[in-house]
Amino acid sequence: MKSQISQWGNSLGLRIPKHIVDGLALSANDEVECRIEQGQLMVKPILKFPKYKLSELLSQDFEPEVEIDWGKSEGKEQ
Protein backbone atom coordinates (compact mmCIF):
# COMPACT_ATOMS: atom_id res chain seq x y z
CA MET A 1 0.00 0.00 0.00
CA LYS A 2 1.29 3.45 -0.88
CA SER A 3 1.60 6.27 1.63
CA GLN A 4 2.86 9.81 1.27
CA ILE A 5 5.55 11.81 3.05
CA SER A 6 4.19 15.19 4.23
CA GLN A 7 5.78 18.35 5.61
CA TRP A 8 5.27 18.65 9.37
CA GLY A 9 6.91 21.82 10.67
CA ASN A 10 10.64 21.51 9.96
CA SER A 11 10.35 17.72 9.74
CA LEU A 12 8.70 15.21 7.47
CA GLY A 13 5.90 12.89 8.57
CA LEU A 14 4.62 9.59 7.27
CA ARG A 15 1.00 8.56 7.68
CA ILE A 16 0.57 4.96 8.74
CA PRO A 17 -2.48 3.22 7.24
CA LYS A 18 -5.18 2.12 9.70
CA HIS A 19 -4.80 -1.61 9.02
CA ILE A 20 -1.11 -1.40 9.98
CA VAL A 21 -1.92 0.67 13.09
CA ASP A 22 -4.51 -1.91 14.13
CA GLY A 23 -2.26 -4.86 13.32
CA LEU A 24 0.56 -3.47 15.50
CA ALA A 25 -1.76 -2.04 18.19
CA LEU A 26 -0.23 1.42 17.77
CA SER A 27 -1.63 4.60 19.28
CA ALA A 28 -0.91 8.30 18.88
CA ASN A 29 2.34 9.31 20.60
CA ASP A 30 3.71 5.74 20.71
CA GLU A 31 7.47 5.64 20.27
CA VAL A 32 9.10 3.93 17.30
CA GLU A 33 12.69 3.23 16.32
CA CYS A 34 13.69 4.42 12.84
CA ARG A 35 16.80 3.21 11.05
CA ILE A 36 18.14 2.55 7.59
CA GLU A 37 18.85 -1.05 6.57
CA GLN A 38 20.18 -1.79 3.10
CA GLY A 39 18.84 1.51 1.77
CA GLN A 40 15.36 1.03 3.24
CA LEU A 41 13.59 2.87 6.04
CA MET A 42 12.78 0.47 8.86
CA VAL A 43 10.26 1.60 11.48
CA LYS A 44 9.88 -0.64 14.53
CA PRO A 45 7.52 -0.07 17.47
CA ILE A 46 9.26 0.24 20.83
CA LEU A 47 7.60 -2.26 23.13
CA LYS A 48 6.04 -0.84 26.24
CA PHE A 49 6.51 -2.77 29.43
CA PRO A 50 4.24 -2.10 32.36
CA LYS A 51 5.78 -0.25 35.28
CA TYR A 52 5.28 -1.98 38.61
CA LYS A 53 5.80 -0.76 42.14
CA LEU A 54 7.38 -3.19 44.58
CA SER A 55 4.40 -2.81 46.92
CA GLU A 56 2.03 -3.87 44.10
CA LEU A 57 4.08 -6.96 43.34
CA LEU A 58 4.37 -7.98 46.99
CA SER A 59 0.65 -7.49 47.61
CA GLN A 60 -0.32 -10.16 45.06
CA ASP A 61 -1.27 -13.62 46.22
CA PHE A 62 0.89 -16.29 44.69
CA GLU A 63 1.34 -19.99 45.18
CA PRO A 64 4.90 -21.13 45.72
CA GLU A 65 6.09 -23.75 43.29
CA VAL A 66 6.28 -27.34 44.41
CA GLU A 67 9.72 -28.17 45.77
CA ILE A 68 11.68 -30.50 43.51
CA ASP A 69 13.54 -33.40 45.09
CA TRP A 70 16.94 -33.66 43.42
CA GLY A 71 17.99 -36.64 45.54
CA LYS A 72 20.40 -36.77 48.43
CA SER A 73 23.34 -34.37 48.71
CA GLU A 74 26.67 -35.62 47.47
CA GLY A 75 30.25 -34.41 47.79
CA LYS A 76 30.97 -30.87 49.02
CA GLU A 77 27.43 -29.55 48.45
CA GLN A 78 26.46 -30.75 51.95
CATH number for the domain spanning 32: value is 2.10.260.10
Q: Give a yes or no: residue 20 inside a domain.
A: yes
In this model, does residue 63 exceed pLDDT 70?
yes
Domain membership flag for residue 74: no
Q: In terms of pLDDT, which residue wins out, 33 or 52? A: 33
Provide the pLDDT for residue 35. Answer: 96
Asked if the structure places residue 75 within a domain, the reply is no
Q: Residue 41: pLDDT band by 50, 70, 90 thresholds?
A: very high
**70 assigned to some structural domain:** no
Is 66 among the domain residues? no
Segments forming the whole domain that contains residue 19? 1-47
Q: What is the structure's pLDDT at 78?
A: 64
- Would residue 59 count as lying in a domain? no
Neighbours of 44 (CB within 10 A): 10
| ∠ CA 40-25-18, rounded to 5° | 70
For residue 15, being part of any structural domain is answered with: yes
Q: pLDDT band at 50, cuts 50/70/90?
A: confident
Identity at 53, one-letter amino acid code: K
Q: What is the tally of helices (H) and strands (E) in the chain?
A: 2, 4
